[in-house]
Structure 1
Amino acid sequence: MMKTLTTLSFLAFFSLSVLSQDRITGFNHATRSEVIAQNGMACTSQPLATQVAIDILKNGGNAIDAAIAANATLGLMEPTGCGIGGDLFAIVWHAESKKLYGLNASGRSPQSLNIDHFKENNLTKIPSYGPLPVSVPGCVDGWFELHNRFGQLKMKEVLEPAINYAENGFPLSELIAYYWQRSVQFHGKYPNVIDTYTTDSIAPAKGDIFKNPYLAETYRLIAKHGRDYFYKGEIAHTITRFIEEQGGFLRMEDMAQHYSQWVQPVSVDYRGYDIWELPPNGQGITALQMLNILKGYEFSKDEFGTARHLHLVTETKKLAFEDRAKYYADMDMQDVPVKELLSNKYADERRQLIDENKAGKYEAGSISRGETIYLTVADKWGNMISLIQSNYRGMGSGMVPPKLGFMLQNRAELFSLNPKDANALEPGKRPFHTIIPAFVTKDNQPVMSFGVMGGDFQPQGHVQVIMNLLDFGMNLQEAGDAPRFSHSGSSEPTGAKAKDRGQINIESGFTTPTILQLNSMGHKVGYSPGGYGGYQAIWFDKERGIYIGASESRKDGMAAGY
């Protein structure tokens, strides 16, 4: 949970924070060196999953094969953030066609569920847990879409490492173990959670060997029979029977009718680089709207962490989140004005609303802390993939179908129950999504694939990474390790109730003068330790023919190459 302290109570802590690490070489904030390799690179949030990806590359698979293998492994080893009960988004640079491809593999709401059900039961919002927030899981279909279009190895070969680990066991890493134990404690009241995620009813701790034979069998059946076995076969029947027994609405027709969509990524220019995101129903264009406004300001390389830096990013976030709340939704069912929102003309208009010396009083969204995994892989042929996958709130809804080895997502919680809203719940509609992969090109050539986990923080994280690289001159590792900040809530005057005031939540590493100046500008500042973790990135240096990889220290992840 996020911890926040009043400004005065933690000023002393920040005054003792240092901006550099005790390293002979490297950059101020970098916790380690970048990883550099020629033939391939993989960056994930769990070292064993990174090694699985590298093994796939060495055995003749390409970046797409390796990304699917790593994602399957993370579904086993990091179920606190992902799994085949959730959704998936990806951006792929295909070296042969020299093009970017976007995949939206998010699932839809049940056809038999509408707003009236919640009104009849006096519910003003969709619950966070239980059967009602469950939407169709899109991950498996996303794997097969990626594999059918770009994969080289057979799916059996791709899923074999995860199957072996599920059968034979793996040791839990530190941070995942922390969340795992808390997730089991919270979700243990729901059917099949204890059976699936514990050993002898005890949640595993760091270093404990854990096996998930149910998931091994599920993966084996998917590898043998294909995606239809998940959406139209016995797995689908098991899922829907269970959800119906629990009082939910997901049915066989919802599973059978599911499909992913290939979409065209969208971009804006920032300092001569094209920054790419996927269009809604995700929030990726929020980052692009923010960058479009921020490119109207100049930042010196030594300005990182100043009050001006944090203030301007925060003000652009508030403006972009207004549009996010108003317009973003499933584009199959809503007319989202993406072109207009990303136009320079609109950015110029919005920029005029910002006072460089004073916090604005705009409406802004609240921060959700959904857990996610992000991974990226590059291969010797030049293919690169930026992939993000999640169950939303940690492990998900609490709904674990019997003997399948995974939990279903609770993404449908993000629907609005106001029928006038763009993101209002409708049958067969994709909910607003927080998970977003990103990509960078320059002169129509690949430069970087990257992502930052953390629910609503993600577009803010994307912007901060891009600024760290292009405005403040950081290297790839430092760009992710540098202290982060996140605005949450609205931005009402100081006299308003605390729950109605916006707040900049910062990690350690920002100076006392910065905090005091932000306060004088009308911002409320709080402290959030380690709340915005999960950055992975690969940079392609075309001139030298090398990949540079980075994985930050806030999570258990690792970058590796060969």
Structure 2
Amino acid sequence: MNYPPHPVQFSRRTPVFGRALVATSHYLASKAGISVMERGGNAVDAAIATAAMLTLVEPTGCGLGSDAFAIIHDGKQLHGLNSSGPSPQGAHRDFYRKLGGIPERGWHAVTVPGAVAGWASLSKEFGKLAFEELFDEVVDQAERGFHVTPVVAHLWHRNAQILRSQPGFEEMFMRQGKAPVPGSLFQQQGMAESFRLIARSGGRDFYEGYLAEQIIRSAKHHDALMNEHDLAGMKPEWVPVISQEFGQAQLHELPPNGQGIAASMALGILRHTDFDHYGPRDARRLHLTIEAMKLAFADLQTHVADPRHMKIGHQQMLDDQYLAERAALINPHQASHFGAGAPPPGGTVYLCAADKNGLMVSFIQSNYMGMGSGVCIPGTGIHLQNRGANFVMDEEHPNCVAGGKRPFHTIIPGFVTGHDGGRMATGVMGAFMQAQGHVQMVINTQIDGMDVQTAIDYPRWRYIEGKKIELEAGFDLLLADELIRMGHEVQTMAASQNGGFGGAQLIATLPSQDGYVGGSDPRKDGQVMMMG
């Protein structure tokens, strides 16, 4: 994690240095986090305040009805938090079969939102300030209003065309019959009051108080499965991280139900290839990386679910001998289409924060598919995720829909520790780009020696399906031609075309261990802010 052996690359952003940093996809969220630190809060307090602000100013990626995950480094060890909610207890396959399948939008795609419970759990375990003190900035901003930023406005407009018919969506997000344009002032008075209730109750009002009553009233009105017992039963879970050695560092991810294991598997597979024989601009190295990612995704989509229902444990999926067997399937000269293996038995926003005492937070929360289910709870500013859309109907699949079960999840925080003692909080929002983004950030920073901002700016690739890959505009055309010759079906796309290359935030310790350096993705509206 030395800074920076890689040649300087020009960006419209520069790395930010400081004794305490907050990096997010929206400048008002970064500002809220730094404000909390200036009032004596630590990195966890800042992360919660930042996450709360993002539900207001970036509703295209998250909301009060989101799920959340986090990895915390307390200066000595890592702690993982899974705050994704389960399906309603009444959810079962026959119900959805009568609907013709699991819908992507609307009430029947909603699972219990876990983000607010996750904030409360983080605060209880690691916070310094009182939970109630963390929402002053977002309450004030919701009442005064915020100016809609360009990327958010673009995504808002795109979501509005799809979701305007969902309960409460037009009332909450299309005040003049259309989505706001960049620079529009947007107020959320009802959301301000919701935050007051959440703050005063330590988050419980969302699950057992007035806000819970409003959510269940809407659910009953629309014949949804969720009831008051489903909400009241929401419990975040502290989990150990899973780790994968790569080069002179380790990537740490949360275990399933999320896709972080795919990034771990891809790096583990690469360790059994000739990856190290090639330089960063060698198409053969990129080919191996893409093929390793394909293999990891094949297993991810077959085996990963709520761990209580998985037939294969994550330990078996990360078994080194199994990863070597998967690596042996890669043709070093030709693109392939892979199926799943048989291991041995056994929308989104990302933010990171770090404080002067060494506490670091890697945090992610999300609706899914942009603005989630589209379901909005009148008068509250709450819009709900649609994570139930990730269940499948196949009875033999571990991710088959069932009551009280967590669905497969796409959102993942990441964390990197180096053999030199360096640490880096990392995340790349964007559905199935996330695991691929983690792999690319690890390679960019730990293998190719890029500084955090250059690593973020660098053109990305993403695997779609079969032999199809997309390359971001600006990608080396010679590399693209070589990939085509190897049989990859290549399409080049601008990052702005569909947002599919995600948005990254990185914060890393400096070699001197007396501060941090942070980077924020120019593909989003955010920035890094510092204190000290």
Q: Structure 1 length normalisation: TM-score?
A: 0.89
> In structure 2, what residue type is equivalent to 1:218?
S
Match of 2:13 among 24, 27, 32: 32
> In structure 1, what residue type is equivalent to 2:32?
V
* Contact 1:301/1:472 (<8 A) preserved: no
Distance of 1:242 and 1:262 partners within structure 2: 31
Match of 1:535 in 2: 504
Q: CA 1:49 to 1:336, structure 2 compared with 1: closer, same or farther past 3 Å?
A: same
* Contact 2:132/2:202 (<8 A) preserved: no
Q: Is 1:439 equivalent to 2:419 in the alignment? A: no
Distance of 1:346 and 1:69 partners within structure 2: 42
1:399, distance to aligned residue in structure 2 (A): 0.7
Distance of 2:185 and 2:121 partners within structure 1: 33
* Per-residue deviation, residues 488-539 of structure 1 (Å, max 9, x unmatched): 112xxxxxxxxxxx31100122233322221221111012211313100000
Match of 1:472 in 2: 448
Distance of 1:264 and 1:300 partners within structure 2: 30
Distance of 1:26 and 1:200 partners within structure 2: 49
* Contact 1:438/1:449 (<8 A) preserved: yes
- 1:293-312 equivalences under 5 Å are 293-297=269-273, 299=275, 303-312=279-288
* Contact 1:41/1:560 (<8 A) preserved: yes
Match of 2:524 among 545, 555, 559: 555
SS at match of 2:329: coil
Distance of 1:152 and 1:448 partners within structure 2: 22
- 1:154-233 equivalences under 5 Å are 154-233=130-209
Match of 2:350 in 1: 374
Q: Is 1:389 equivalent to 2:389 in the alignment? A: no
1:468, distance to aligned residue in structure 2 (A): 0.9
Match of 1:3 in 2: none
- 1:20-419 equivalences under 5 Å are 27-28=8-9, 30-38=11-19, 40-95=20-75, 98-121=76-99, 123=100, 125-297=101-273, 299=275, 303-363=279-339, 371-419=347-395
* Contact 2:377/2:383 (<8 A) preserved: yes
More displaced 10-residue stretch of structure 1: 338-347 or 211-220:
338-347
> In structure 1, what residue type is equivalent to 2:507?
I
Q: CA 1:280 to 1:553, structure 2 compared with 1: closer, same or farther past 3 Å?
A: same
* Contact 2:25/2:524 (<8 A) preserved: yes
Q: Is 1:526 equivalent to 2:487 in the alignment? A: no
Match of 1:509 in 2: 474
* Contact 2:302/2:340 (<8 A) preserved: no
* Per-residue deviation, residues 436-460 of structure 1 (Å, max 9, x unmatched): 0000113494510010011011111
* Contact 1:88/1:106 (<8 A) preserved: yes
Q: CA 1:76 to 1:301, structure 2 compared with 1: closer, same or farther past 3 Å?
A: farther
SS at match of 2:73: strand
1:228, distance to aligned residue in structure 2 (A): 2.0
> In structure 1, what residue type is equivalent to 2:319?
S
SS at match of 1:452: strand
SS at match of 1:455: coil
Distance of 1:514 and 1:542 partners within structure 2: 33
* Contact 2:356/2:515 (<8 A) preserved: no
Distance of 1:167 and 1:183 partners within structure 2: 24
* Contact 1:391/1:408 (<8 A) preserved: yes
Distance of 2:368 and 2:376 partners within structure 1: 15
1:204, distance to aligned residue in structure 2 (A): 1.8
Gaps of at least 5 residues in structure 1 are 1-24, 366-370, 491-501
1:481, distance to aligned residue in structure 2 (A): 0.6
* Per-residue deviation, residues 325-354 of structure 1 (Å, max 9, x unmatched): 121111133344211211221221111111
Distance of 1:406 and 1:444 partners within structure 2: 44
1:393, distance to aligned residue in structure 2 (A): 1.1
Q: CA 1:208 to 1:512, structure 2 compared with 1: closer, same or farther past 3 Å?
A: same
Distance of 2:203 and 2:420 partners within structure 1: 34
> In structure 1, what residue type is equivalent to 2:515?
I
Distance of 1:529 and 1:424 partners within structure 2: 35
1:553, distance to aligned residue in structure 2 (A): 0.8
Gaps of at least 5 residues in structure 2 are 1-5, 342-346
Q: CA 1:465 to 1:29, structure 2 compared with 1: closer, same or farther past 3 Å?
A: farther
Q: CA 1:186 to 1:120, structure 2 compared with 1: closer, same or farther past 3 Å?
A: closer
* Contact 1:72/1:162 (<8 A) preserved: yes
Distance of 1:507 and 1:387 partners within structure 2: 25
> In structure 1, what residue type is equivalent to 2:209?
G
The number of equivalent residue pairs is: 517
Distance of 2:64 and 2:187 partners within structure 1: 17
Q: CA 1:151 to 1:31, structure 2 compared with 1: closer, same or farther past 3 Å?
A: same
1:299, distance to aligned residue in structure 2 (A): 5.0
Q: CA 1:284 to 1:209, structure 2 compared with 1: closer, same or farther past 3 Å?
A: same
Distance of 2:257 and 2:421 partners within structure 1: 27
> In structure 2, what residue type is equivalent to 1:129?
R
Q: CA 1:261 to 1:445, structure 2 compared with 1: closer, same or farther past 3 Å?
A: farther
SS at match of 2:251: strand
More displaced 10-residue stretch of structure 1: 40-49 or 400-409:
400-409
1:323, distance to aligned residue in structure 2 (A): 1.1
1:475, distance to aligned residue in structure 2 (A): 1.2
Q: CA 1:29 to 1:310, structure 2 compared with 1: closer, same or farther past 3 Å?
A: farther
Distance of 2:278 and 2:154 partners within structure 1: 36
Match of 2:344 in 1: none
Distance of 1:298 and 1:333 partners within structure 2: 36
* Per-residue deviation, residues 170-201 of structure 1 (Å, max 9, x unmatched): 11111011111222333222232222124444
Distance of 1:444 and 1:409 partners within structure 2: 40
SS at match of 1:448: strand
SS at match of 2:392: coil
* Per-residue deviation, residues 25-81 of structure 1 (Å, max 9, x unmatched): 96236443211112x000000011101111111110000000000010000000000
- 1:417-496 equivalences under 5 Å are 417-443=393-419, 445=421, 447-490=423-466
1:542, distance to aligned residue in structure 2 (A): 4.8
Distance of 1:264 and 1:29 partners within structure 2: 38
* Contact 2:104/2:386 (<8 A) preserved: yes
Distance of 1:560 and 1:43 partners within structure 2: 7
1:546, distance to aligned residue in structure 2 (A): 1.5
